[in-house]
Amino acid sequence: MSLRKCVLDGYHERELFGHLNSIWKDNFNIYPQLPFTKIFDIETLNINHKERDFLLKTNIDYTVCDKEDKPLLCIEFDGLSHGYNRGGEYIQIVKDQLRKKKLELKLKIAMEHRFPFYIISYDEKTYLLEKIHLAVVDGIIGETIAKMKFRDKINEYLEDSKDTLNSMSEYERYEYIQDLVTLAEIELELTWNPISKKAAEIEGVLINKGIISGLSSKHLSIPELPEIKNIFDIEGIKQRQKVWKDIKWHGCEVSCETPKGKVTEQAWVRNFEGMLASPLIIVQNIAELLAFYKAATLNGIEI
C-alpha cells in the first residue's frame, strides 16, 4: 500500500508538533512539513540546477506563522545527526555529509533573507521539568517573537512619552530612553517567552510568601571562559574573546536562600547564538525556573 499513515516522519516529529501546537496555537499557526517554496521564492535565488531541484522537493519541519499566515520563523528537527545551528553554521554531531550540505543550503538562504531558521534536536525538545511541560525550543520561539516585536513596542513607548521627552535635557532624555528600552524588553519577554513567564510567576508566589532571598546567578560555559584580572589585562581579554568564539554550551547557575536551606540549580543550552534568540537569556530563564520550582517544592508550595 503506497498511502502514508502520517505526514510527519516519526514519533519524535509528531510529538514535537503536538507540543508546539499546544503551547503556541492561541497566538500563531504552526504548520508541519511545508514545502520550502512556500517560504522562499527560489526563482530569485542565485543557486545551481542541483540545488534548485533539491529545494523544489524539500520541506521544512515546522513553520510558525502569524494568524494571517505570514511566516515568522522555521524549525528543522535534526533527529538523525543531533545537530543545531549557530547563526548560519550547521554544527553536526553525527556526521552525514549529504545531510550537512542540504541543511547548510537552507540555512544559507535563510541568513541571506535575515529570516529566523533554527535547527534543533533532542536537547532543545526535552521538557525542562516533569511537571512543567516547557522546552528550550519554547524559549527560542518566544525570544524570537519578542525581538521581532521590539521596534513596534519601543515606538509605542516613545509616542506615549513624547511630551515628557520634549521637556528633558539631552542627557535626561538619553537616560529615560534607556529605561524605556529595558522596560520594553522585559514586557515583551514576559509576554512571549513562556519560560520567562513561568519563572516570574513562581518567583512572585515565593516573594509574596517570603520564601526566597539573596538571589544570585553566574554565567557558565563549555569550554570555560578564562578569568580577566582587570580592564588592563589585554592578554586575558584576547584569550577570553578567542574562547568565546568556540563555546559549545552556555550555562547558568542560580542560587537563592529559603527557610528550608539554600537552593542552587544549573541549566545548560547549546550555543545557538547568531539569530534573534539568545542562549544567554534563555539559559538564565531556565536556571531561574528550575531554582524557583525547587525552592517552592522544598518549602511545600504547590505549583
Element (H, E) at 59: strand 59-65
For the segment 110-124, the average pLDDT, to the nearest whole number, is 97
What's residue 112's pLDDT? 94
What's residue 241's pLDDT? 87
- pLDDT tens sequence across 39-97: 999 988 889 999 999 999 999 999 999 999 999 999 999 999 999 999 899 999 999 99
Q: Most distant CA pair in the chain: distance in Å?
A: 76
The C-alpha cell that represents 200 in the structure block: 516570574
What's residue 80's pLDDT? 95
Q: How far is CA 271 from the centre of its chain?
A: 10
Helix pair angle (279-298, 136-148), 10° resolution: 130
What's residue 3's pLDDT? 47
157 in helix, strand or coil? helix
Rg (CA), the chain: 22
- pLDDT tens sequence across 21-46: 999 999 999 999 999 999 999 988 88
117-120 and 71-77 as β-strands: parallel, antiparallel, unpaired? parallel
Alpha helix segments (H runs only) across the chain:
11-24, 49-57, 97-112, 122-125, 136-148, 150-160, 162-166, 170-192, 194-208, 234-245, 279-298
- Compute CA distances 218 → 58, 215, 231, 265, whole Å: 42, 11, 19, 11
Please say if the pLDDT value at position 300 is more than 50: yes
First to last CA, the chain: 49
For the segment 295-300, the average pLDDT, to the nearest whole number, is 96
The C-alpha cell that represents 243 in the structure block: 574562547
Torsion of the alpha carbons at 168, 172, 176 and 177, rounded to the nearest 10: 90
What's residue 7's pLDDT? 59
Q: Which residue has the higher pLDDT, 243 or 206?
A: 206
Rounded Cα gap, residues 144 and 294, in angstroms? 28
Rounded Cα gap, residues 233 and 255, in angstroms? 29
What's residue 178's pLDDT? 97
The C-alpha cell that represents 231 in the structure block: 580592564
Please say if the pLDDT value at position 6 is more than 80: no
What's residue 4's pLDDT? 54
- pLDDT tens sequence across 126-184: 999 999 999 999 999 999 999 999 999 999 999 999 999 999 999 999 999 999 999 99
- pLDDT tens sequence across 228-268: 877 777 887 888 888 888 999 999 999 999 999 999 999 99
For the segment 270-296, the average pLDDT, to the nearest whole number, is 97
249-258 and 29-35 as β-strands: parallel, antiparallel, unpaired? unpaired
- 246-251 long-range CB contacts below 8 Å, 24 or more apart? 247/221, 247/222, 247/223, 247/271, 248/222, 248/223, 249/221, 249/222, 250/219, 250/220, 250/221, 250/279, 250/280, 250/283, 251/219, 251/220, 251/221, 251/222, 251/283, 251/287
Alpha helix segments (H runs only) across 65-208:
97-112, 122-125, 136-148, 150-160, 162-166, 170-192, 194-208
Rounded Cα gap, residues 51 and 102, in angstroms? 9
Please say if the pLDDT value at position 286 is more than 80: yes
- Prior bond to 279 cis, omega within 30? no
